[in-house]
Every structure is written in structure tokens, then in C-alpha cells.
Amino acid sequence: MINTGDTAWILISSALVLLMTPGLAFFYGGMVRKKNMLSVLMQCFIIMCVLSLQWVLFGYSLSFHPASGFWGGFGWAGLKGVGLEAYPDYAGTIPHQAFMIFQAMFAIITPALIIGAFAERMKFSAFLVFTLLWATFVYDPLCHWVWGIGGWLRNLGALDFAGGTVVHINAGIAALVTALVIGRRKNLDTNTPVPHNLPFVVLGTGLLWFGWFGFNAGSALAANGLAVNAFVVTNTAAAAAGLSWALLEWKRNGKPTMFGVASGAVAGLVAITPAAGFVSVIPAIIIGSLVSVFCFIAVSAIKPKFGYDDSLDAFGVHCVGGIWGALATGLFASKAVNPLGADGLFFGNPKQFLIQLATVLVTIGYTFIATFLIYKLVDLFIGVRVSEKEELMGLDLTQHRERAYTVLE
Amino acid sequence: MKKIEMIIRPEKLEIVRRSLETAGCAGIMITEIEGHGKQKGVVQQWRGEKYKVELMPKVKIDVVVRDQDVDRIIKTVIENAWTGEIGDGKVFISNIENAIRIRTGEKGENAL
């Protein structure tokens, strides 16, 4: 039975999640140097174009068509059989296509998150091919394993409410791999790049926070109490994490920064994502407060120590925050919040924590290897990195023949 | 005392700046500018239409140095700003009558 309230909420949520990608574009765009501003906006926007098409043509089918293998197959390619009736195995009260388009927005933002790792140095042509291959051979299978009917991680009992594993750990690990293989930006040691427009970073953070309500509360797939729970814990965790990051900076560096609060809020949103439909508000505060500690360490201590150039901390925030969120779900999940979920370790079910851990490890392992192979393949045929001269001149002019800003006029 | 004004490619800023510091320039002023020389521009696009941008983004570096340092510093700048292609920029040299350090009132080369 189609429910109009549920359908309306999912359509609005889909639009909210779509807005996260332009939000991310500004979040990342503000952090790069101004000669690369358009390249980042462009990468985010072109993903909206390319992946929207990939998704309706075959991505949705590969991800969600019922099957028990590597992925879902081509049974729903071109949305054949994906109609305006409900498909109760996924969502019983909304048209099947509403579920499809809601999921499309997740498929769009996930590869966009990776941009943060290789920003300022990837060829646009290589980026396009890499993104399409990554979406097809990494995102779609993993999405199928965790959320698809017949997916083996789903059958194992893994809890991932809105995409901590599929979206954040997945993109975060891919970010680490690409940062490692593409190498550091030129002259990084003598010339530390500074964010060219922090107000854009804050604008982007605001759009992300706003859109995340669709991401998490929409994942209830109905306008019900569970959606409200997800909404409340999402806001709470983001708030706790933003404050916690500011306090950490204040203690360690003497002053709290706007950049820090923005980073913390995003980390909090990442961490609460897998847990949003399974935990209550006090665990959300704990999840949010601690994620800033872990991400802060990853970004300010681990990254400099190992020297990989994860330009905008896609790994440091999304992977680290995503792992903490997935594990925290195994700690704090409670059937009192969601009877269809499971109890976590602190509610007497240690097995759930182990399932969460296994899912995290599988994701890390598969994504690491598959991303590496895809990168090498694209590098072999196209060459991934721009020339040194192009990098120095900036990607806006060399990849797009455009400039974001002029000095005069 | 001479003032050396250098108009260089923006992407050469970092390397030229470092080389000036190594060569012993204590003070350095950097301005972002747009302009053109004989060359006139780079090709950009406006909704698919290609057009030539007449005003190019450049960076201007000003330093004021003692007379005896001028040749050495110009040599350093040319070495580091050179690519051999059109658009490498120009160097202008002019006399400076005097310099005064505001804080102490010192004059001439002592103020540099």
C-alpha cells in the first residue's frame, strides 16, 4: 500500500541528499587553492551527471536486484520492472522508483567524497573514467552485499542504517588508496597550501548538515518514529562533534577555529550515519564527542607522520569517522530504539560488535584492493596525474580553460 | 639603492620567492596583478565559446636592495622565473632616493 506521507518524505529526503553533493563541492572547494576551485566544483557536479545516468541504466540493478552473487546483475537494467508500485522487500509503502531515486543520491555522493584525497592533481579525463569504474566495481557490489536482497553481509546481520560502511568507510579507504598512489602534491613542504575561502567551507558544512537529515532520517524509508529518532540523533551527534573538535583545538593549539568546528560537525555526521536508526540520544552524544578525538588524531598526527597527502582529509574524516560509527553501532545499538535492529555489546549482545567488525574489515579489504586495481588500470591507459606544469598553473585553467576569480572586475 | 620590480608567472611565485630569500633579500612585497605585455593572453571558454583573455594573472614582486646586490638578485630571478616560453614576464629597475624605517627613523641602506 502506497502511503502518501511516506512517499512525500522520501522525495524530499532524496532532494536533501542530492543537495549534499553541491554542499560537499563548496566544503572541498573552499579548502583548495583558488587556482583549483572550479576543478573541485566541476568534479562534484559532473558526478551528479554521470552517476545519475549510470544509476538508472545499470547501477541500481547491480546494487539492488535480488541475487546472492558478487552483485545484483542486470535484471533491473534501464529500470525495467522498477515501477511505481511498492517493492515491499525494500520499502512497503513507497513506489519502488522513490526508493531507487533516494538510493541514487547515495551513489552520487560516495565517489564525490573521494575527491578530497586527490584534489589539485588529477587529470579530468582520468577522473571521469576512474569514477565510473569505481562506482560500478566498488560501490555497486558493496552496496549489494550490505543492503541488497541476497547480499551476504546483510544476511550476516550487519547493521548499517544509512551508509557508514557503504558510503563512508568505502569512500574513505578509496581516498587513502588514491592519495597513496597518486603521490604528494608538488612543493608541499616549502609551500603549505592554505584554504582559499573558509566561508565556502562553512557554507558547505551547513548544506551538508541540512542534507544529512535526508540522508539519515530518510533512511527510515517512512515518515515515522524511526525517522524522527534518526533526525534527532543526527543533529545531536553533529553538535557534540563540532563542539568537541573546538575544545580539542582550544586545549591543544590555544584557540578554537571555525575550520575545526566545521570539520568536527562533518565527522559527527559521518559517525552517526550507520547508527542513526539503532541508537538513542545519549549514545549519540558519546559517538559525536569521541569521533572528533579520533579524526583529530588521524588528521593532525597520523597523516603528518606517514606523509600521505590526503589533501582535504577524505580518509581522515570519512574513513576514521565511519569505522568508529560502524563499531559504535555494535556497541550502542538497542532493540528498544528499533525492534528490527539488534542489541549491541552494551545491551548484552557482544556478537553484534563482532559482526560490525567483520563488515568493516571486509569493506576495507575489498575496497583497498579493488580501488588500487582500478587506479592502476586508468593510469596505464590514460595517465592519472597532470603534468608538473599543469599542477603549478592550476587545474581550472589547464583542465577546463576557466578561472574562478579575476583580480580586477 | 635600487628598486627591482619583477612581473612573473603566478606559478613561479614560490620558487622565486624562496630564491630571493636565499639571496639575502630581507624585505619582499608581493602583489597579485592582471595585465598584458606584447603577448596578450591565454585561451579561456565562455559556455563553449573560446576567447582570448587579454589580461593575464601575474604576480609582481618588489624588493629594494643595495646597489651592489642588484646584479646578483636579477640573475637569481631570471634563473628561477625562466621557462623560455612567451609570458615569462619582465624585470624593471629604478633608483630609490631614500628609505626610512618608521619605527626608528633610520635612513638609507640602514633602513632596508
Q: Determine, for residues A408 and B55 on separate chains, whether the beta-carbon distance falls below 8 Å.
A: yes
> What's the pTM value of the predicted model, to 2 decimals?
0.92
pLDDT tens string A73-105? 999 999 999 999 999 999 999 999 999 999 999
pLDDT tens string A116-150? 999 999 999 999 999 999 999 999 999 999 999 99
Question: How much is the pLDDT for B26?
Answer: 82
Considering only the beta carbons, identify the residue of A187, A401, A407 that sits closest to B14: A187
**What's the pLDDT band for B37 if we cut at 50, 70, 90?**
confident
Q: Which residues contact B80 (CB under 8 A, 6 or more apart)?
A: B12, B15, B16, B19
| Average pLDDT across chain A, whole number | 95
Considering only the beta carbons, identify the residue of A35, A402, A408 that sits closest to B34: A408
Question: How much is the pLDDT for B108?
Answer: 92
**What's the pLDDT band for B87 if we cut at 50, 70, 90?**
confident
Range of the domain at A72: 4-400
Q: What percent of chain A has pLDDT over 70?
A: 100
Rounded Cα distance, A143 and A152, in Å: 11
Can you tell me the mean pLDDT for A30-45? 96
Rounded Cα distance, A52 and A37, in Å: 23
Query: Is A406 inside a domain boundary?
Result: no
CATH number at residue A123: 1.10.3430.10
Query: Is A405 inside a domain boundary?
Result: no
Burial grade of A154 (CB within 10 A; 0-12, 13-18, 19 or more): middle
Question: How much is the pLDDT for B40?
Answer: 67
Q: Between residues 33 and 92 of chain B, which touch chain A (CB distance below 8 Å)? A: 33-34, 42-45, 50, 55, 57
Q: Determine, for residues A407 and B32 on separate chains, whether the beta-carbon distance falls below 8 Å.
A: yes
Could you give the ipTM of this predicted complex? Answer: 0.77
Please name each of the domains of chain B with its CATH number: 2-111 (3.30.70.120)
Rounded Cα distance, A289 and B60, in Å: 47
- Number of neighbours of residue A200 by Cβ within 10 angstroms: 20
What would the DSSP string read from start to end of B11-48?
GGHHHHHHHHHHTT----EEEEEEE--SS--EEEEETT
Can you tell me the mean pLDDT for A245-274? 96
Question: B55 to chain A: which residues are within 8 Å by CB?
Answer: 406, 408
How many domains does one find in chain A? 1
pLDDT tens string A345-383? 999 999 999 999 999 999 999 999 999 999 999 999 999
Can you tell me the mean pLDDT for A48-72? 95
Rounded Cα distance, A99 and A400, in Å: 35
pLDDT tens string A284-304? 999 999 999 999 999 999 998
Question: How much is the pLDDT for B3?
Answer: 95
Kindly list the distances between the CA atom of residue A386 and the CA atoms of A112, A132, B24, in Å, as whole numbers in the listed order.
Answer: 19, 19, 34
